[in-house]
Amino acid sequence: MPSLKQITTKIKSVRSTRRIMGAMKLIAAVRLQKAQAALMAYRPYSDAYRDVVLNVAALSESEDHPLLRVPEEKTNLHVLFFTSDRGLCGSFNSALIRNMQRYVEEQSEVFGSIKLSFVGRRGRDYFSKGGVATGKYYTGVNEKNSRKFSEELAAALTEEFRVGGSDEIVLAYNHFVSAISQRMTFERLLPLSVQENDDSGAESSSDYIFEPEKERIIGSILPKYVQVRIERAMNESLTSEHAARMTAMENATSNADEVIAKLTLLFNKTRQAIITTELMDIVNGTEAQRKGGNE
């Protein structure tokens, strides 16, 4: 049985860990709230942008613009993988990495070569150990600089697609559903999936008016669209990360509470046992003395 001192030390250490986790939970909650508000505001914009682009793409021929080109062969796949920089967010990264690994295995049957680029340290740390070709790597992305990062990434990725360095670009990130639920999503960024929009496109290109002409519009909205989708994925991923961290810290705090309760019980029992032993000693001692006096 551990000594009383050992138990008090342990309780103290669990208490201080609990305090840290409690603070982290509060920080995550505040950041989640902010990120969620920004995400909810960003979603209508990016969705509307996607609708416009898909609409224009549906009315265009693949020859109209290099970014609309549909590669004849699926050779090079480029996946942009969003994870977090830091840990202590439960199974957030491990679940992402597990799904990613499976996806890479599936796609390697279709594509000749697969390249991974990373936003977030955790994903890169895992995949840089080998097995998959790795491309660009970004770290330190947060809500404030996501626009700048996404612009840089978008420029690089569109250029790569334009010159034929990749035949398909996919975004892999956690889609934020709610504070307790996030869903891993694989979204094809380029080439645009034009076919999906066919059923809604009742108008033909002849009765749609474009100002300036269609080719110039495509030239300016497609790169922007790529940037918007990447920024959206960043925001989704960041919000999901904060949510995952908050949940993880909440669980950790309540676990710590349980441990503290158990240790306190153990402490009380041990103390009681010691008192009982001491009492027994005293009683035994006086018994012995009385017997000795009688004789």
Of residues 212 and 292, the one with the C-beta less far from another protein: 212
Q: Is 212 in the site for another protein (CB under 8 A)?
A: yes
Of residues 59 and 263, the one with the C-beta less far from another protein: 59
Q: Is 144 in the site for another protein (CB under 8 A)?
A: no
**Complete edge-to-edge strand list for the sheet that includes strand 113-119:** 133-138, 113-119, 76-82, 168-178, 181-190
Of residues 76 through 115, those in contact with another protein by CB under 8 A are none
| Dihedral angle computed from the Cα positions of residues 121, 125, 126 and 131, in that order, rounded to the nearest 10 degrees | 120
Amino acid at 207: D
Q: Is 44 in the site for another protein (CB under 8 A)?
A: yes
Of residues 227 and 247, the one with the C-beta less far from another protein: 227
Amino acid at 193: S
The distance of closest approach from Cβ of residue 151 to another protein in the complex, given in angstroms and rounded to an integer, is 12
Candidates 35, 42, 127, 161: give the one binding another protein (CB under 8 A): 42
**Both structure tokens of 281:** 């000693």
The distance of closest approach from Cβ of residue 214 to another protein in the complex, given in angstroms and rounded to an integer, is 8
Q: How far apart are CA 17 and CA 27, in angstroms?
A: 15
Q: How far apart are CA 193 and CA 269, in angstroms?
A: 67
Q: Is 236 in the site for another protein (CB under 8 A)?
A: no
Segment contacting another protein by CB under 8 A, of 51-59, 71-79, 112-120, 178-186: 51-59
Q: How far apart are CA 188 and CA 172, in angstroms?
A: 9
In the three-class reduction of DSSP (H, G, I as helix; E, B as strand; rest coil), residue 146 is classed as helix
The distance of closest approach from Cβ of residue 94 to another protein in the complex, given in angstroms and rounded to an integer, is 31
The contacts of residue 228 (CB under 8 Å, 6+ apart) are: 45, 46, 49, 50, 150
Candidates 63, 198, 207, 295: give the one binding another protein (CB under 8 A): 207
Of residues 40 and 273, the one with the C-beta less far from another protein: 40
Q: Is 4 in the site for another protein (CB under 8 A)?
A: no
Q: Is 30 in the site for another protein (CB under 8 A)?
A: no
Strands 133-138 and 113-119: parallel
Q: How far apart are CA 2 and CA 200, in angstroms?
A: 72
Q: Which residues bind to another protein, rule: CB under 8 A?
A: 38, 41-42, 44-46, 48-49, 51-52, 55-56, 147, 203, 207-212, 216-217, 220-221, 228, 231
